[in-house]
Amino acid sequence: MTYITKPKLHHPGLKPNALGLTHRDYEGSVSTLCAGCGHDSISAALIQACYELNIEPHRVAKLSGIGCSSKTPDYLLGQSHGFNSVHGRMPSVLTGANLANRELIYFGISGDGDSASIGLGQFAHAVRRGVDMVYICENNGVYGLTKGQFSATADQGSKSKAGGLNTDSPIDLVGASFVARSFSGDKHQLVPLLKAAITHQGPAILDVISPCVQFNNHAGSTKSYDFVRAHNEAVNRLDFLPARSEITVEHEPGTVAHVTQHDGSVIKLAKLHADYDPHDRVRAMAYLQERHAAGEIVTGLLYVDENADDLHAHLDTVARPLNRLGEKELCPGGAALDAVNASYR
Amino acid sequence: MPQRINAVNDFVVKFANVNGSGSASANELFAKCILRMGVALASRNIFPSNIQGLPTWYEVRVSGEGWLGRRGGVDLMVAMNPQTWDKDVASIDAGGYLLYDSTKPLPPSKFREDVNLIGVPLTDICNRTYSDPRQRQLFKNIIYVGALSALLEIDTDVVEKLLSEQFKKRPELITSNVKAFRLGYDYARENLAGACGLKVQHAGGVGNRIFIAGNDAAGLGAVYGGATVCAWYPITPSTSLAEAFTKHCKKFRVDPEMKKNNFAIVQAEDEIAAIGIVIGAGWNGARSFTATSGPGISLMQEFFGLAYFAEIPAVIFDIQRGGPSTGMPTRTQQSDVLLCAYASHGDTKHVLLFPKDPGESFEMAAHSFDLAERLQTPIFVMMDLDIGMNDWLCEPLKWDDARRYDRGKVMTYEELEAGKNFGRYLDVDGDGIPYRSLPATHPTRGAFFTRGTSRDRYAKYSEEGSVYVDNMQRLLRKFETAKTITPKPILRRAREKTRYGAIYYGSTSPAMDEALAALDAKGMHLDTLRVRAFPFSDEVVDFIHAHDQVFLVEQNRDAQLQKLIVNECGIDPARFISILHYDGTPITARFITSAIAERMNLASRKEAAE
């Protein structure tokens, strides 16, 4: 299908959002990924999240590393600038881009090879610095683009398509002020999570299990469609209410928690487990381990700190984007230099 | 009695100390006193990769004539480190002087018969005056500065004025330092009259020049040049550049009303992340830089290729040190020239700038951001440890308030709105430089996908051979354009017409100036060209063709700049005679003079025989 250009025409019945943009205005080029790839579902969910949040596409910058996942920024938000950088180093490039202009929304789109192997260090450090971004790890536990080697998130004991057995422990990607896991095949969970992540200030990490139809969708794989559907353990069911929309809460005492984010938007959590508290990082990590031991993949909003601040707050930078400052703000001028010279005599 | 070197305002004093003993500030005080007396000097730290305990030296070359390179040799050794005593004593020129702590008697075998001894019972004076061990240690340094001042006849008013300026914020320290200074001074006046034939006299050789280290000046240059994002990872000898940028930003870049920072400095987790942050910021329109040294440059290779191919502005300060590998982290070299010129895999070429001193480091630092945005490519400012970490006497820093930043070819909202054709990799002006657009400029026009893979003129992915070649050819045209806007080489003609030329660059400059004067005095004439940038402009090629033989003076083993010229300009290697100094110490005028004189004499003898 990839040789076909998308037609510009669209169904007249497509509903515009508050900006007057339709779903189509949030799309990108036609995907060159394999048919049925989980990554395309994630792109579709991102498109839907941006459309529903009334985000101006050109106010988004999409950054990625190298791999199948890193190609996906091209397949969404065609009016946004994108940057396909080098393998495992997207977090640093995104950090720099964010420092240059704090006003934009930054999507870091990565995969498990890109984030958990070569890029584990940069991933952890970007999170540690509190870079304001939505970081999506399209996690299929396999190197697709180089044809099927294990990645660092592959479960111990899982089998590769070529028959190899993974003997290494998997790396679990958690640790930011917003941590969620979802499944590319579950749009009802993924879209609200993405919307909440976009409005979260600070690093929002989404680990999205995204089956590789070619190399990791067979029996013996722990990241196949069938395996994930069978072992999914959702901790909460989510609804997302943007800051400006009318807040209507369905009263289900004891089962609904409201999380108000910095911008006033509300994440409504319908709890499936009464004892699950997404504010408790330690408990969340223990819970993930516990369920992992029981062979289950926990999805949902795992942890959120709605009062988190970001790298710009840490660095105390001006509100105006640094890339818009000119000589007046930046250059101390000739007279100041005279005083500097005097201090070196 | 040994011979005595007698000299006024022209000698070398070397201090042999133990790292971390507080000697550095005392030694700098000594140097500044001489400068304040109007006598030019060059000072160099020779230090180990160590915080405390290992040997460290400070060399002050006093030169009434104004020579600022290392001269070579030592006229007066201040030997304060027993670990290096034998080597230090052996390094003194015959007829020179040895100032040492005479508290404990040393066997005659520890001295040299052709060196004049100046014993000062430093430990004894200290122990009689101070009871606190820390004070004993620190003031011992000031006491020897006092003794030296008496021996060299340094003006005590100058010393006391400097001390009062230095401790302006802690006046109690002025009194105690002046007291310690007087202890040494008085001892030498009473006991060592006429012991030293070296003197300092007031002169007018300094003028309004300043005494500053290159890293400090380059950090300030980055502030003046409009850098807003700095990402770096600590590595000697570059660390003090990022620290200087931080210091100057705190002074000049805090918004006076909002009290917020007009800058962002990130100490990254490694050099790879540092250059990634720089490239991300450059892509998004902020002026950004990193400072590193050879090992960091090695780590950043992949990103340099991305910035070259995706055409993203970035500035890299390479404060070169002794390589390869960890090499000699605290010694100087010019050995990253080829590494930076062709950094990263594939066909790449990068713009290099070669400042000669801290003053030019300031200027080139500021200019590099204009070049990076104009050319949309990484710019390497090739400094070294000698320039970066030593205080140099140089012309006052200057800034023309009429100067404006050149932000290069960036599509504006108005241009996009008016429908101006935008191809991210389209050569519209014939200079090989395309227009770029920054994120969020226009709602529906100007967005493109930046990638390290091949693409067409409109940034669309393509592995078509002709499309790839078209782009690579344009990058070559852009490199040609770089020749026209980078700093031109500086030509200096000999007094007489000559068939000999010499090319040099960077920190070799002061030693070269002096060597040329010495050669001239011997009747040996050379035209010289100081290269200031790569790619090489036509002047470099013309200069080589105008001379039969060209000496290429560099501080590396492999004649890297020479190889780059041979490679890029198609010059016959036989035209060059390499003069290479790469032991990690700064090159000296004596070394250059003798190496060139030897080759020129050899050539003239050969001619005479023919």
Residue with tokens 């930076």: B340
Which DSSP letter does residue B497 get? -
- Whether A255 has a pLDDT exceeding 70, the answer reads no
pLDDT single digits (tens) B458-496? 999 999 999 999 999 999 999 999 999 999 999 999 999
Pick B212's closest partner by Cβ from A125, A338, A344: A344
> Residue A183's Cα: distance from chain center in Å?
12
In CATH, B490-609 is 3.40.50.920: yes
Ranges of CATH 3.40.50.920 domains, chain B:
490-609
How many other CB atoms are found less than 10 A from the CB of residue A78?
A: 19
Residue A235: which pLDDT band, with cuts at 50, 70 and 90?
Answer: confident
The 3-state DSSP class for residue A109 equals: strand
Interface test with A, best of B316, B449, B454, B462 (most A CBs within 10 A): B449
Strand partners, A178: A204, A304
pLDDT at A243: 65
Nearest to B429 by CA among B492, B480, B490: B480
What predicted TM-score, i.e. pTM, was given to this entire model? 0.92
In whole angstroms, how far apart are CA A2 and each of A24, A33, A66, A219, B292? 17, 9, 20, 29, 44
State how far the Cα of A228 lies from the Cα of A221, in Å rounded to an integer: 10
The 3-state DSSP class for residue B81 equals: coil
In whole angstroms, how far apart are CA A78 and each of A30, A155, B436? 10, 35, 17
Provide DSSP, B435-448: PB--TTS-SSSS--
- Whether A253 has a pLDDT exceeding 60, the answer reads no
Partner-chain contact A322 B262, CB within 8 Å: yes
Q: How far is A114 from chain B (nearest CA, A)?
A: 14
Residue with tokens 């080139």: B364
Pick B226's closest partner by Cβ from A319, A330, A334: A330
Interface test with B, best of A330, A337, A338, A341 (most B CBs within 10 A): A330
For the domain B212-394, what is the CATH code?
3.40.50.970
Chain B positions in Cβ-Cβ contact with residue A317 (cut-off 8 Å) = 260-264
In CATH, B7-199 is 3.40.920.10: yes
Pick A97's closest partner by Cβ from B208, B274, B284: B284
State how far the Cα of B203 lies from the Cα of A80, in Å rounded to an integer: 65
Task: Check if A336 contacts B (Cβ < 8 Å).
Answer: yes
pLDDT at B354: 98
Helix B239-252 with B214-224: angle, nearest 10 deg: 40
Partner-chain contact B226 A327, CB within 8 Å: yes
Please compute the mean of the pLDDT values over residues A242-267 and round it to a whole number.
58
State how far the Cα of B5 lies from the Cα of A317, in Å rounded to an integer: 59
Residue A8: which pLDDT band, with cuts at 50, 70 and 90?
Answer: low
Partner-chain contact A323 B453, CB within 8 Å: no
- Whether A244 has a pLDDT exceeding 60, the answer reads no
How many other CB atoms are found less than 10 A from the CB of residue B6?
A: 11
> Residue B19's Cα: distance from chain center in Å?
22
pLDDT single digits (tens) B216-270? 999 999 999 999 999 999 999 999 999 999 999 999 999 999 999 999 999 999 9
State how far the Cα of A257 lies from the Cα of A301, in Å rounded to an integer: 12
Q: How far apart are the first and last CA of chain B?
A: 49
Partner-chain contact A334 B451, CB within 8 Å: no
State how far the Cα of B92 lies from the Cα of B101, in Å rounded to an integer: 17
Restricting to A residues 49-88, those with a Cβ less than 8 Å away from any Cβ of B are 56-59, 61, 63, 73-74, 78-86
Nearest to B3 by CA among B83, B127, B94, B123: B94
Q: Where are the alpha helices (DSSP H) in chain A?
A: 38-52, 68-71, 90-100, 112, 120-129, 187-199, 225-231, 281-293, 311-315, 327-330, 334-343
Ranges of CATH 3.40.920.10 domains, chain B:
7-199
State how far the Cα of B158 lies from the Cα of B174, in Å rounded to an integer: 14
What is this model's ipTM? 0.93
Q: Is the peptide bond before B256 cis (omega within 30 degrees of 0)?
A: no
Residue A176: which pLDDT band, with cuts at 50, 70 and 90?
Answer: confident
Nearest to A119 by CA among A82, A62, A165, A64: A64
Computed from CA positions of residues B375, B376, B382, B387, in that sequence, does the dihedral angle turn out positive or negative?
positive
Ranges of CATH 3.40.50.970 domains, chain B:
212-394
Amino acid at A314: H
Chain A positions in Cβ-Cβ contact with residue B260 (cut-off 8 Å) = 316-319
Q: Which residues of chain B have pLDDT under 70?
A: none
| Backbone phi, psi, residue A191, to 5° | -65, -50
Residue A240: which pLDDT band, with cuts at 50, 70 and 90?
Answer: confident
Contact at 8 Å (CB) between B403 and B357?
no
pLDDT, greater one: A248 or A200: A200
Pick A333's closest partner by Cβ from B258, B275, B399: B399
Least confident of A116-125, A288-297, B444-453: A288-297
State how far the Cα of A44 lies from the Cα of A23, in Å rounded to an integer: 10
Show the CA angle centred on residue B246, arms to residues B240 and B250, nearest 5°.
145
Interface test with B, best of A22, A31, A86 (most B CBs within 10 A): A86
Domains of chain A: 23-324 (3.40.50.970)
Amino acid at B594: S
